[in-house]
Structure 1
């Protein structure tokens, strides 16, 4: 075998290796998988192409948010660390895959909405009569989301499937909008309020 031919073979082998490494990087999560992760949430993400894809999506959103965060950069980092701790709690869940998936979907939408990565409409004011008023900004995330403020408290809510209108759900809040009217529950066990959109 001539020296020149041998070099070509090595070159071809290297490029094939690089291609397969790139394919793994695209299919896997944003972090490096290892055997040590086997019995952990990260291990589950490494084994699931769907969860790995969600991790890639969040990593891209987080990277974009770092560029727009400005003086909120430290807040973004702290939020992300807190979120990772929360995500890792999914290990205790009865349905680990669903828990991790929901955790990622919520965080992706929060980062996109919170750091100006998607278009927003509002804020709009909804008059809740004797209960005061609610301010809501709507974000074109997927699924859509809102950031609402009521009596000085903020709540971030994500759209869930509903028969008519759009139903947004947060931790202890819900905001169901239909034809300029919103049915709002704010707080655990709170009574539902009917609020009308101010034009």
Structure 2
């Protein structure tokens, strides 16, 4: 083959390879929303450019779709409004020093929360804890095998979603203002902002 034909063949191969790589990147970065509407400098724009975040977005989109079906009879219907609020809150990650890490954690936690709330993941429980020797003031918790692991705790009429945190021993979960740290059947629970920690014992189901 003469040099001119070799150069032409090489350019053709390079063009095909570049097109193939571009197609792979575009496929990897597909999202649950229209990236053409994402504004520069937004978290949405970052998700469109980041295949790993785009994958988390697609996973959340699938979970959200399943949650919508599970919430069809929910009254009042809150899920859609909550999701819009979560999307708005996600953009606050722009203000963080590590915006990407913030967005990744937000996606993972939202996905786990929906899986737990709408029982889209396997769960164990509920487990009851009697705190400070007061059986009438028990905390009930159901543990879900999500990523990260979650639990939904109930106390009286209040409900808290908590996510597992690193712990030197036992299993520690934290929510917005609540904490449950269990080790070998004993648990320390804090319920509410600024509340004192309660010493609790897991009780066998009746």
Instruction: Provide the TM-score with structure 2 as the length reference.
Output: 0.80
Equivalent position of 2:39 in the other structure: 37
Equivalent position of 1:70 in the other structure: 72
Alignment of 1:108-127 (within 5 A): 108-127=111-130
Q: What does the per-residue CA deviation read over 1:137-185, in whole Å, with 9 as the maximum and x for residues that have no partner?
A: 1111112111111232111001011121111010111111111111111
Structure 1 residue runs of 4+, over 6 Å off? Answer: 17-20
Counterpart of 1:174 (choices 166, 175, 179) is: 179
Alignment gaps of 5+ in structure 2: 1-18
Tell me how many residue pairs correspond in the alignment.
183
| Aligned CA-pair RMSD | 2.3
Taking the aligned partners of 1:86 and 1:108, their CA distance within structure 2 comes to: 15
| Partners of 2:38 and 2:44 within 8 A in 1 | no
Equivalent position of 1:135 in the other structure: 140
Alignment gaps of 5+ in structure 1: 1-16
**CA distance 1:26–1:36, shift in 2 (3 Å):** closer
Query: Is residue 26 of structure 2 the alignment partner of residue 24 of structure 1?
Result: yes
Equivalent position of 1:160 in the other structure: 165
Query: Is residue 98 of structure 2 the alignment partner of residue 95 of structure 1?
Result: yes
Higher share in helix: 1
**CA distance 1:150–1:62, shift in 2 (3 Å):** same
Equivalent position of 2:48 in the other structure: 46
Query: Is residue 193 of structure 2 the alignment partner of residue 191 of structure 1?
Result: no
Computing the radius of gyration from Cα coordinates, the structure with the larger value is 2
